[in-house]
A and B are shown apart, each in its own frame.
Chain A
């Protein structure tokens, strides 16, 4: 436990840890202000199809809608912010020359690597919770509350979620987002144990995420067959909590696949760290 708090202290002593929080605060608040100023245009665009056939009354562009909108937009960028810290947490010791000092001390490598991994997950969780708070609190203050109308891009149909159900669904959605980002953090963590500089793991993680996303979304049959084997396919399973009915089976499957990825990547990282040669 002491090791864990030590890792947390080290992580939050670095200025780069706060880049993620700063970026999220800036982008989310800017988006919300722009959405507030362009409310009419946004509403007309988003309801264009539905407005042909229906008269629509009530607060459609509310804080919950804005939260869902921003989450969809940012889930490509958050992995980069996670990799920024997770990619540095082990390799940073080598860069700063403290790795030998760390590994000749009494705590075993198992404990050290476990503490670093838990600290990585702590940061990941904190970042996603921060995203949630920055989206929801100013969102509700600026746009008010209301029912949530969701149209998942690329899927036919409109889902209407009553206001009373939204907080619980959002809670589950953010928990699912944390779970997804854990897989990304685990990749960065693994890469961080393999090299001795931080840039490689950060760029490497982003390369993996982007390549997998691109492959998974190419409209060709060959790539479609690969899609189930890419972890990025399951990363957006948080969106399923905003479906009606909630597809629990799909959610459990996605969570299990991502969990196995995280676990597997951690064990590989542990294996690599256990064999790490610090004498040369």
Chain B
């Protein structure tokens, strides 16, 4: 108890408060930069270089309407990494996270800050984010996530300018995740193997952006899903 009380003055120290405020301001600036982004459409190509995952490049059209509407259109099966696979500047809302400024540094000759975002609401799949944000251009350059079950994802983001907005042209994801067997094909054979750590890289490239073309909400009502239609 005494030990806890000793920490109280530090919690309210001006330096700490200032760092928290600066972190929140950085997130605000990010969202403000994209406040005019009403919707966008983009062609996505995903290239996998992940251990044990043998798949050709996958292509799809991505429809996005910030803050939370997204649709993928693909004639074939399409896998998109959950963490870092899509760009949504509105996902880091300062109301939803405890923001902590970790450090200031330079990244490719630009001023950046490293922020640690911890979800305020602890859900089962909650995870912390560490963002490297370019404070000159208000861009997320790197995103690191780690979850309670040891999944780690690092995203490196490159941008291009489209209709007054800086939008990703390439996201390079580095995965370090746990893979366990499921029941896709089961035969009279060897028993299930224990979960295995899988590392690899996923390159996502974005092209043919159409920004603020006035996408209708109707587009997002019918989600392309795993389950076949007519069921």
Contacts and interface: CB of A to CB of B under 8 A. Distances in A.
Contact of B72 (A45, A55, A213, A219): A55
Q: How large is the interface on A (under 10, 10 to 19, 20 to 34, 35 or more residues)?
A: 35 or more
A62 B188 CA distance: 23
B56 interface: yes
A207 B54 CA distance: 38
A39 B231 contact: yes
A228 interface: no
B11 to A, nearest CB: 35
B85 A55 contact: yes
Given A39-B231, A57-B60, A154 B191 contact: yes
B77 A56 contact: yes
Given A47-B182, A73-B187, A160 B193 contact: no
A160 B78 contact: no
Nearest to B173: A53
Contact of A48 (B78, B175, B182, B187): B182
Given A153-B189, A219-B191, A61 B183 contact: no
B6 interface: no
Interface in B180-199: 180-193, 196
A156 B54 contact: no
A69 interface: yes
Query: Which of A56, A68, A159: most chain B Cβ within 10 A?
Result: A56
Given A52-B177, A57-B226, A153-B185, A147 B76 contact: yes
B14 interface: no
B77 A160 contact: yes
A147 B77 contact: yes
Query: Which of B54, B188, B189, B231: most chain A Cβ within 10 A?
Result: B188
A53 B175 contact: yes
Given A53-B82, A55-B82, A149-B77, A72 B186 contact: yes
B80 interface: yes
Contact of B79 (A54, A76, A156): A54
Interface in B76-115: 76-83, 85
Contacts of A156: 52, 179, 181, 193, 196
Interface of A: 36, 39-40, 43, 45-50, 52-62, 65, 68-69, 72-73, 75-76, 143-144, 146-147, 149-160, 162-163, 213, 217, 219, 236, 239, 244
Nearest 3 pairs of A and B residues by beta carbon = A154-B190, A157-B52, A58-B77
